[in-house]
Amino acid sequence: MESPMTRREMVAAVGAGIAAAACRKPAPAPEQSRAPASAGKVTVVFHGVYLVTRVDSDHYEVYLPTATTKPASGKHDRCSDAHIHTAHLAVFDKPGGALQASFELTQRNLTLIGAFQGAGYLPSLDKLIAVSTFLPPATRRRKYTGVGSSRYASRIRLFGGTLSADASDNVGEWEIDSPLQQGSPTGLRPATMLVWNAMTANVPVLAAGTISTPPIPSELIAATHPTVVIGHSPLPPDKWYDPPQNPIKQDDIDHDFKWLYSILIPNANEANNNPWPSEIGSGCLPAPRCTTAPPPLSSQGTLRPMTVGSSTCFGATDCTTGNC
């Protein structure tokens, strides 16, 4: 039987561009298939506009679409304005605490390496919006061509650790009205956060792309990086934990979700730079719409007050049933 690869060997393998071959590991005992989060481990929280894809049981990738250049019309479609988003990695002293450092991720890629859970590990991603539930069956993510790709702001590769998608308590209920597929999802309480627990206190960070000032740390350490957040948001990192300025109302639409259409295509035709108008005609790009507003913040007391992420800004996954 093949011996598990050490984390040090994995760092070297990823750096050499052979991560796919390095991920072959024996399955753990059944009780280890869902490793719980634990104190003293590096945890990274994602929020904003992102697409999660599965490579194998110990390798997931998070793609952030470029959202800094508005379309010529200034709109995603005839229904919505395009709001500018930027991507950052930020370190806080605690959830909702003081911002210690932030690093812009535009045209920068990261690889984070945690403790391997084995081939039997199952992530908890059922609260992520799956594009397969409201877009044509042939829909796929555009090819990623590396740093400098005009459609991608960043790619974050996650090796090992555990992955879960969490909905905040004040998300309400949502649905997606889609003219592109029958039986579009209803009654959703979508995840507002994607949480990666490295299951180790030290995480090597391999960065590629333009060099930031200050440089992105080469290692995340639980003792010195207590709260790490990667956000793709219209707000700067020092505003990420602020209470929402506008209450969510019934029929509100997450128009920012539509940035994902720049990295999704309804078929394999990569040459078509703007395929969606021909798919929707004079309609609107499908996006989450609030059907049941959450209770006002004033009535929620101290219910999860230190939650990062917006209840009107959701990520998604291109995983289909059975492969996440």
pLDDT in tens, 61-71: 999 999 987 77
For residues 162-198, one letter each, b for 16 or more C-beta atoms within 10 angstroms of the residue's C-beta and e for the rest, the string is: bbbbbbbebbbebbbbbebbeeebeebbbbbbbbbbb
- Percent pLDDT > 70 in the chain is 80
Distance CA 201, CA 323 (A): 29
Distance CA 204, CA 218 (A): 6
Confidence of residue 39 (pLDDT cuts 50, 70, 90): low
Give the bridge partners for 196, in sequence order: 44, 163
Contact of 314 with 131, CB cutoff 8 Å: no
Distance CA 45, CA 310 (A): 13
Contact of 61 with 55, CB cutoff 8 Å: yes
Confidence of residue 118 (pLDDT cuts 50, 70, 90): confident
pLDDT in tens, 245-294: 777 889 999 989 999 999 999 987 888 888 888 888 778 899 999 999 88
Average pLDDT of span 307-322: 71
The amino acid occupying position 272 is: N
The amino acid occupying position 113 is: I
Q: Which of helix, strand or coil describes residue 131? A: helix
